[in-house]
Amino acid sequence: MIKPHGSDELNPLYIYDQKQHAELMVEAEGLPSILISSAAAGNAVMLGGGYFNPLTGYMNVADAMSVAEKMHTTSGLFWPTPVVNLVADVSAIQGAKRIALRDPNVEGNPVLAIQDVEAIEEFTDAQLNTISEKVYGTTDKEHVGVSEFTSAGKYVISGPIQVLNFSYFTVEFPDTFRTAVEIRNEIKEHGWNTVVAFQTRNPMHRAHEELCKMARDAVNADGVLIHMLLGKLKPGDIPAPVRDASIRKMVELYFPPNTVMVTGYGFDMLYAGPREAVLHAVFRQNTGCTHFIIGRDHAGVGDYYGAFEAQEIFDTHVPKDALEIEIFRADHTAYSKKLNKVVMMRDVPDHTKEDFILLSGTKVREMLSEGKAPPPEFSRPEVAKILMEYYQSKA
């Protein structure tokens, strides 16, 4: 198992000591409080679980700009995306040195974390544009990630945090949500040394399944971490419980026992393409994985990124010694009618488009909505059944 990013040991910011936790919960009720954004809440959950090791809290303007422009903090730590607590109104906490952060995603807005306020600064419009351009590759407000980022507010509350709960993730996904600490411990319990991580925000079809198996075999891995995003997605994406059920069914039926961990993490999707791919690599290193699969248009949306930009950024912008995790570069995978198996397209230069079973996402959704299963070469029938039930329930 490899070391965490930026430190020898993982330093999660969740307060595990019960006595200290109880004291902080009491203290929080007497502190000035602020309702934070869903994005900031996701950052707190990731900091709490050790995924964002070695960060100790939210970045200030100088660090956020340095990360956006140079991919490292002002102290020199390699980091790909700003981790900020952005709000629109700070009147409730003016002058406070210690504040309670309230969760926007749970009824009653319970305290999610306590933050020591080192500074309250304000982004200029130019700085917001720079971050959008550098991190998301565009300032287009039609980009869902840019829209979320630029609408959160301009005030930047920086400083270390102590995390007191993991929002709705432990309640809604008790069998799936895991911290980086828990994943590291489970990898140790399995006795795995080489572990391949697979990121997903979608159900997994045959191509994804086979990609995990190809990567596992290529690096001679002991196991695979299927690690799904459990936070907020864009409209039209399939809800986490449906994805979770379909992925678990696929693993149960089509992978050897005890070779796959199905887990999830609490974070809202950024849709930041290449930059988010690097962030994904950082926090998979923090889980102890040695390899991470990056395919076509990883973490992309619309036509904002080139097909392989998320792989190329590791050559152009990630210093050789910045990360210990290794990237497994995948091409588009599809079922070959010639070879009767799923292949990477780059590995079969003799194939034409007609030699593959290719279905667009729109076509697949259409079929599932009509109660028609995609061909078994595209989607496992047991997985298709779960997805059909979901789509038909919406009809």
- The token pair at 118 is 């080192």
Contact between 15 and 59 under an 8 Å Cβ cutoff? The reply is: no
Residues facing residue 265 across a β-bridge: 229
Angle (nearest 5°) at CA 177 between 172 and 178: 155
Residue 258: how many other CB atoms lie within 10 Å: 10
- The token pair at 7 is 């430190």
Which one of the listed residues 11, 109, 193, 201 is annotated catalytic?
201
The alpha-helical segments, DSSP class H, found in the chain are 18-29, 38-48, 61-70, 125-131, 144-151, 169-172, 180-190, 206-218, 240-254, 273-286, 309-316, 361-369, 381-394
Torsion of CA 208, 214, 220, 225, to 10 degrees: 0
Q: Tell me phi and psi for residue 162, to 5 degrees.
A: -120, 120
Which one of the listed residues 109, 202, 248, 365 is annotated catalytic?
202
Specify whether 202 is catalytic: yes
Q: Which residues are catalytic?
A: 201-202
